[in-house]
């Protein structure tokens, strides 16, 4: 496998994995491209590499910036904007975890809490609803806090987490 093939394979695989962390294909592919690029890229560069339109590139870059994963860099003497992504995988994971929690998990926890707090009218269906959503609420909150704990430990959270859990 040569460089071009490897690059293509990585970008498309990472792109389709986008769903796993809740972003769309183009967004994931732009991030992937920046991630393996030794230097910052311009919008032109990205459009060309990924064969996507200017509009698409612009919109998805903005989203990546909103996520805090991509930053603009100013190249002196150049008018156009250049972009880089966070290069440290652990920091990347940390940012993604934080954002997903904020955007998706936290709102769900809120709903589960509301739903599981309805008045028990004594019927079996109400009892079941309360019981099950309570359990789900607890689980979701625990997983969310576990994730935060792992990720906020320090630079070596993963190694430490693996180690602790093996004991």
In the complex, the residues that contact DNA under the rule CB under 7 A are 24-26, 42-44, 51-56, 58-62, 78-81
What's the min distance (Å) between Cβ of 66 and its own copies?
Answer: 19
Instruction: Establish if 114 lies at the interface with its own copies (CB under 8 A).
Output: yes
Q: Considering beta carbons, is residue 13 or 53 the nearer one to its own copies?
A: 13
What does the alpha-carbon distance between residue 17 and residue 21 come to, in Å, rounded to a whole number? 7
Distances (CA, A) of 60 to 63, 64, 70, 95, 161: 5, 6, 10, 17, 33
What does the alpha-carbon distance between residue 14 and residue 20 come to, in Å, rounded to a whole number? 10
Place of tokens 């430990």: 153
Site string for its own copies, 61-100 (x = CB under 8 A): --------------------------x-xx--x------x
Q: Considering beta carbons, is residue 36 or 75 the nearer one to its own copies?
A: 36
| Residue from 120, 112, 100 nearest 141 by CA | 112
| Interface residue with its own copies, options 44, 62, 111, 156 (CB under 8 A) | 111
What does the alpha-carbon distance between residue 105 and residue 133 come to, in Å, rounded to a whole number? 15
Q: Considering beta carbons, is residue 2 or 79 the nearer one to its own copies?
A: 2
Instruction: Establish if 38 lies at the interface with its own copies (CB under 8 A).
Output: yes
Total site size for its own copies, rule CB under 8 A: 58
Instruction: Establish if 150 lies at the interface with its own copies (CB under 8 A).
Output: yes
Please say whether the dihedral angle defined by the alpha carbons of residues 31, 32, 33 and 38, taken in this order, is positive or negative: positive
| Interface residue with its own copies, options 15, 30, 35, 60 (CB under 8 A) | 35
């Amino acid at each position: 496998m040569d460089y071009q093939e490897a690059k293509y394979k990585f970008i498309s695989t990472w792109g389709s994995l986008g769903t796993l962390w809740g972003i769309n294909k183009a967004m994931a592919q732009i991030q992937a491209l920046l991630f393996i690029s030794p230097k910052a890229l311009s919008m032109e560069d990205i459009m060309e590499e990924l064969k996507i339109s200017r509009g698409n590139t612009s919109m998805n870059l903005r989203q990546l910036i909103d996520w805090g994963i991509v930053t603009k860099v100013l190249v002196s003497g150049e008018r156009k904007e250049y972009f880089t992504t966070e290069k440290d995988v652990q920091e990347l994971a940390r940012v993604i975890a934080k954002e997903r929690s904020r955007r998706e998990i936290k709102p769900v926890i809120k709903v589960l809490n509301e739903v599981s707090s309805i008045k028990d009218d004594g019927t079996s269906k109400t009892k079941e609803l309360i019981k099950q959503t309570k359990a789900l609420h607890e689980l979701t909150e625990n997983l969310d806090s576990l994730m935060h704990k792992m990720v906020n430990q320090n630079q070596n959270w993963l190694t430490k987490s693996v180690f602790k859990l093996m004991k």
